[in-house]
Structure 1
């Protein structure tokens, strides 16, 4: 059975029907951060250190909004030198896309919140990016997994057995959002409530 995010099934017409919102290309309002290519062998759940977001966990474990204190985020083994990633430590509001998958979940995204010590890095087969303008908490995670945005991604996906999407392709996708940050947060809270309700029913 294909493990597709619940929000993809839930039609977010909300994002496609409101014409008064701002619309910009991702490449205009986001910057890309560096990810690492650490395998599962370089990660553990017992020795506290910098945490690492693996693409497989984005696809299977995590919902649209990921709390930095989540115990399912593994630590990087302490014997590894991570100094070259010092400028890519993630913070609240950053978004991570999974750039590959064996089904149509490729491009699934998470928004990070409550990122405190230990810090977090973006791992294998991920595309981490940071908004250059403010966004309301919870809005981006829900928008990037909405049906409206997923329809943009599908024609950009490459591959047969293993699907992938590139940074250059994502740059030209369009983001719709209200200019009012409070309104963005209310929308984010609404869809988080819907996600929780779907989870409870399942």
Structure 2
């Protein structure tokens, strides 16, 4: 079995631009582009994002998209939430499937594009693992609001096996995530049907 490779983040990824739109600049109805908001990365999304099913909000102002022509997201890109109220700063999501509309990264995010191919699902799970996230902890700044910078990410180390093993790891962990989600939905459904006793 080939050894795992270890390389600097900056050797593996290039950074893309993100917009500075607050929730007020987004809507759930329509628009020419979609937006990935840092709050959704922290709370709503798991390690991997299927944008076709995740109801990404639309950008209300149609003049925003042309400014980000070189930073339209594609499958395999990763997005970090650079700010949080705790050590969740640095949580990441790997983009799996995207909606038909162009999608760009939003406020308080750091979007990054791999410089070479990774197995589907591997990055989302690895970049959220304790092994990787522990590297970010000493690099975080702030007291009430904690943040991680591009410069901090740049020097972290990324470890990965060969492509087939990456794909196998990504598939196995995604299957576990799906089972957990399924059980959570079942529990919620049972609780909603159960009478509340006072």
Distance 2:135 2:54 in 1: 32
Where does structure 2 lack aligned partners over 5 or more consecutive residues? 185-198
2:12 to 22, 26, 29: 29
Distance 1:145 1:81 in 2: 30
Q: What TM-score do you get using the length of structure 2 for normalisation? A: 0.88
Aligned to 2:76: 93
Distance 1:50 1:104 in 2: 30
Does residue 134 of structure 1 match 2:117? yes
> 3-state DSSP class of the match of 2:110?
strand
Structure with greater Cα Rg:
2
Aligned to 1:122: 105
Task: Kindly report the root-mean-square deviation, in angstroms, between the aligned alpha carbons of the 2 structures.
Answer: 1.6
Q: How far 1:183 sits from its partner (Å)?
A: 1.4
Distance 2:33 2:9 in 1: 28
Aligned to 1:185: 167
Aligned to 1:199: 181
> 3-state DSSP class of the match of 1:129?
strand
Q: How far 1:116 sits from its partner (Å)?
A: 4.5
Q: What TM-score do you get using the length of structure 1 for normalisation? A: 0.86
Distance 2:54 2:79 in 1: 18
How many residues end up aligned between the 2 structures?
184
Distance 1:68 1:191 in 2: 19
Matches within 5 A, 1:1-202: 20-179=3-162, 181-202=163-184
Distance 2:58 2:76 in 1: 21
Distance 2:131 2:2 in 1: 13
Aligned to 2:194: none
Distance 2:32 2:2 in 1: 45
**Does structure 1 conserve the Cα–Cα contact (< 8 Å) formed by 2:32 and 2:62?**
no
More displaced, 181-190 or 132-141?
Answer: 181-190
> 3-state DSSP class of the match of 2:29?
coil
Alpha carbons of structure 1 residues 176 and 75: separation in structure 2 relative to 1, 3 Å = same
